[in-house]
Amino acid sequence: MASGVQIDVGGVAIGGGAPVVVQSMTLTKTHDVEATTAQIAALASAGCEVVRCAVPKIEDAEALKRIVRLSPLPVIADIHFNASLALKAIEAGVAAVRINPGNIGGPDKVKLVVDAAKKAGIAMRIGANSGSLPAHLQELARRDQAEALVAAALEEVELLEKLDYRDFKISVKATHVPTMIRAYRMLAAKVPYPLHLGVTEAGTPFAGAIKSAVGIGSLLADGIGDTFRVSLTADPVREVEVAWEILKSLGLRERGPVMIACPSCGRDNVGVENLAVVVEERLKAYPQAFEVAVMGCAVNGPGEAGDADFGIAGGRDVGFLYAHGRVLKKVSSDILIDELFHEIDRWIEAGMPR
């Protein structure tokens, strides 16, 4: 069901079997080049692969040239209602523009933007959003919002195909997770273009991460979706962290270690929650992909940690260190974590034999 068409966004392939791409969006005023590029740098270090910047005003469009030059990531300009801002953004060298062909000022303006995008050889993101469906689809939306989202997106697709432009990806984002899932499933069955997934206004980090993981994760698990943004009311770096956890949990991409930890129970003599927090923090320094299990006791620890590359099982005075399903050593509890990382470092130095 993955999309057949592949597009290129500043050297990043999206769709057509390419790995699912992580996106985020800057929260800074785009015309504040220093703040915007600092945020892009932070997003890039967290693993963001394509970044989007809002371009509501002319000064934002004018700042794009410098942002594009300084950004380590392809920049997508996010534009509504104003075709001349889209033209300016394309002129500034952005990797793609996100527009809604339904609100950019009529078919002539759409053609102007499409012609400029074609000439620059760049892609677009189009699509509908549950909060901004066109008036003529409102009645359908009241009956079935997912149908209305798909209808709106297909109208945009038709408009661009008539202009002989097929270099785009599509989103049909909704705040209601089941609606969003249904809309993307319907759309994926109808078009070959790459899909940009998202749950709009997902919320604060806890609720938003769960909603995004359920909505985006359900679709990705079915092979639907080529790129996505986890929208959170938070520092966008958190969006990228959540995005990678979704991809890693589905086994779609690898980035750094994966930690599993037991939920703890009455047999936990070590305080596994604290142990897990410390291990998780120290694992952030590793770019390599491997799995570490943190278990509260040695009763179930070895079995449950058996698939991990490394594992520790805590105890009141002594704990166990495991590697690849076997006990490596028995260690005094106060140095258990240091020993774990010592062994991990040795294993990495040896070329990570499994």
Q: Which is nearer to ligand SF4, 253 or 267 (CB)?
A: 267
Q: Which is nearer to ligand SF4, 89 or 298 (CB)?
A: 298
Q: Residue of minimal CB distance from ligand SF4?
A: 296
Assign residue 90 a region (left: φ > 0; alpha: ψ between -120 and 50; beta: otherwise). Answer: alpha
> What DSSP string runs through 123-184?
EEEEEEEGGG--GGGHHHHHH-HHHHHHHHHHHHHHHHHHTT---EEEEEEBSSHHHHHHHH
Binding-site members are 262, 265, 297, 304
DSSP one-letter code for 330: E
Q: Where are the alpha helices (DSSP H) in the chain?
A: 33-46, 58-70, 83-92, 107-120, 138-143, 145-162, 177-190, 205-221, 236-249, 272-283, 301-304, 336-349
Tell me the closest approach of the beta carbon of residue 267 to ligand SF4, in angstroms.
4
Binding-site members for [4Fe-4S] cluster are 262, 265, 297, 304
Q: Which is nearer to ligand SF4, 146 or 276 (CB)?
A: 276
Q: How far apart are CA 338 and CA 77, in angstroms?
A: 46
Q: Which is nearer to ligand SF4, 10 or 301 (CB)?
A: 301
Tell me the closest approach of the beta carbon of residue 310 to ligand SF4, in angstroms.
15
Tell me the closest approach of the beta carbon of residue 329 to ligand SF4, in angstroms.
18
The amino acid that residue 32 corresponds to is D
Residues of this chain that bind ligand SF4 (CB under 6 A): 262-265, 267-268, 272, 295-297, 299-301, 304
Tell me the closest approach of the beta carbon of residue 292 to ligand SF4, in angstroms.
14
Tell me the closest approach of the beta carbon of residue 227 to ligand SF4, in angstroms.
37
The structure tokens 């070895």 sit at 302
